[in-house]
Amino acid sequence: MLRDPRGDWQLESRSLYYARLYSELEAGLDGIEQHLFHPDDLVDTDEHRTGLALSVLGRLAGYGRRDATGLLRRYAAVGTSWQWALDELAVRDDDASLRRLGSAVLARFPAGPEGDAQLAAAVRDAYEPRPWHLWAEEHERVRRAFDDASFHRWQRQLAPAGPTPGWSVGAVLEWAEQPGPAGSDGHRDAAAARCLDAVAGPEDRPELLAAARFGPATARAAALRHLAGKEDPAALELIEAAAGAPERRVADAALCSFERMRDTRSLDRARLWSARDDALGAAAARMLAARGGEADAPRVLAALRNLVRREGADAAGMGPLVDGAGRLAVTCAAPLLRHVYRETASSQLRGRAARALAVTDPAFASGFAVECLWDCEESTRSLAAAHAAIGDVRVLARLRRLAADPAEEAEVQSAVRGRLHGPR
């Protein structure tokens, strides 16, 4: 709770899992309170520091824990990540309590043009607008902020974000090399490739081939993406040459473009390249995992085995190979998939391994599927509800508990009801 263990907090779900632990252990919230109101909160403005704790408090508030609701109210009034706390309260607190919180929140925005602009931005960016609508009924400043937010949205839709390319291949490639707008990663190769799709004709192929071979980095990446998307006869040779380019932008565009190709030539080339021990070989293996046939199962298995051996269970690119082992029903991959399931720190990858094991491991229903009923990810619990051996007394008790849990997700409860009331 104090040191978020998730590899990507925007993808991995842990809040309901931890809230259930707090509830089942009848644990107090002193530790969360000390973490939220620690002096670090005044200097560390990254919402990642407190986001998990606030999400857990929101879940506990949904379970009826008044102490959790009280902490959220206090933090929304004085904390740095007050907007997160307010979003949690917006879907759980009553109108009267939210109205009382309004004065403390509005005091964050000083009177004057600068404060009004900040208030309008907060209203515009609110994930859950319910508190703001309540406050607009009582505060003229909030009503004006809603008007300003609507006007700003209209202005933003009308005004272009920056310079736009001319209507020719040369102009698009030149535009691709220009610095991107503030807040972007500074590269425009993907956007330029989409523009090329609109403006390029057969007569432009020599210029595009030259750019893909010898152009500056971003223009070269854009041309590669375009030619691969059009399944140009020269695309595969250009991708092979660019995959080893020193510029990361070019190499990444080559690999990404290759994995997005859908013609039979690219699949045949993937079978040839999958034996390579480099980034292009890894991309080829991922393509076979996603699109290959039964005959490609040994290649996918070899790639999965090599990646686990070299880089461990949390290696980049592990997910598609795990998915491929399940899609191709590679039963001899089950020991590897069990290893990935046990060792990965990613709940997303653990869920993908569980889905593959459901197809490849005959013991899944009585083994990992039972464990997955307690998983933190909704999709993994849903999978477990559909597969876990109903004869296990733990399974039946857990399914009944999930069915009665008001915080459980609809997808999981649907799978649970199907097992409880359907054929066993």
Q: Is residue 161 scored above 60 in pLDDT? A: no
Angle at 52 between CA 46 and CA 58, to 5 degrees: 120
Q: What is the DSSP string of 146-206?
A: HHHHHHHHHHHHHS-SS----SSHHHHHHHHTSPPPTTS-S--HHHHHHHHHHH--GGGHH
Poorest-pLDDT segment among 84-98, 141-155, 257-271: 141-155
CA distances for 103 relative to 99, 129, 135, 138, 380, angstroms:
8, 16, 9, 10, 42
pLDDT of residue 164: 61
Band (183; pLDDT cuts 50, 70, 90): very low
Distance CA 213, CA 169 (A): 15
Q: Is residue 35 scored above 50 in pLDDT? A: yes
As a whole number, mean pLDDT of residues 7-25 equals: 88
Q: Which of 421, 383, 418 is nearest to 374 (CA)?
A: 383
pLDDT digit string, tens, across residues 281-327 = 999 999 999 999 999 999 999 999 999 999 999 999 999 999 999 99
Band (211; pLDDT cuts 50, 70, 90): very high
As a whole number, mean pLDDT of residues 403-410 equals: 93
pLDDT of residue 366: 94
Average model confidence (pLDDT) across the chain = 91
Q: What is the DSSP string of 276-344?
A: -SSHHHHHHHHHHHHH--GGGHHHHHHHHHHHHHHH-TT-TTHHHHHHHHHHTT-GGGHHHHHHHHHH-
Please check whether residue 351 is in contact with residue 377, taking contact to mean a CB–CB distance below 8 angstroms. Answer: yes
Q: Is residue 350 scored above 60 in pLDDT? A: yes
Q: Is residue 235 scored above 60 in pLDDT? A: yes
As a whole number, mean pLDDT of residues 137-142 equals: 91
Q: Is residue 153 scored above 70 in pLDDT? A: no
Distance CA 79, CA 40 (A): 11
pLDDT of residue 186: 53
Q: Which residue has the higher pLDDT, 372 or 182?
A: 372
Q: Which of 145, 67, 69 is nearest to 106 (CA)?
A: 145
Q: Is residue 90 scored above 50 in pLDDT? A: yes
pLDDT of residue 8: 77
Q: Is residue 396 scored above 80 in pLDDT? A: yes
Half-sphere exposure of 20 (CA within 13 A, CB side): 17
- What share of the chain has pLDDT > 90, as a percent? 80
Residues in the chain: 424
pLDDT of residue 404: 93
Helices 66-78 and 51-62 cross at an angle (nearest 10°) of: 140
